[in-house]
Amino acid sequence: MVHAVDALLDNPYFETLAYLSVAVLALIVFLYIFEVVTRYNCWEEIRKGNLAVAMATGGKIFGICNIFRFSIEAGDTVYESMIWAAFGFVLLLAAYFLFEFMTPVFRIDEEIEKDNKAVGFIAMVLSVSLSYVIGAAVIF
């Protein structure tokens, strides 16, 4: 079975489909985990038009996908990409908690839930920026 899958992955079309499928599935799982650790319901807030939540969530989506991009670009297999994506996600999650910890003046989640666009923007930029650092490390 493993050899049959590996043979399919030698085809660039199947390989692309595999990377995309794994990335979308991982994105759903990782966003669910972010949903669990935030104090607000991302999709409900986005439905209500909360731009701060949309920016923070968009940054998370970009960050997760960017880590996959670096892993794929490095020539890793689909299996290695999954491992690096999971590791990169843990690092992004740790950065999220660190961001919350390093701003004792106010609670990040509460400000984003209140539609504080400045905090949402900073959260988005942080996720995007750190994804480049994490991604660069994935290449080695």
Give the whole-angstrom CA distance, residue 60 versus residue 80. Answer: 21
Mean pLDDT value of segment 10-24:
85
Q: Can you say whether the dihedral through the CA atoms of 61, 64, 70, 74 is positive or negative?
A: negative
Question: Per-residue pLDDT for 5 more than 70?
Answer: no
Question: Residue 91, Cβ neighbours under 10 Å: how many?
Answer: 17
Write down the pTM of the prediction. Answer: 0.85
With CA atoms as reference, report the closest residue to 122 among 55, 67, 62, 61: 55
6-10, 27-31, 46-50, 108-112: range with lowest mean pLDDT:
6-10
Per-residue pLDDT at 123: 93
- With cut-offs at 50, 70 and 90, classify the pLDDT of residue 33: very high
- With cut-offs at 50, 70 and 90, classify the pLDDT of residue 140: low
Q: Which residue has the higher pLDDT, 2 or 123?
A: 123
Per-residue pLDDT at 100: 84
- With cut-offs at 50, 70 and 90, classify the pLDDT of residue 61: very high
Mean pLDDT value of segment 29-45:
91
Q: Are 81 and 71 in contact (CB under 8 A)?
A: yes
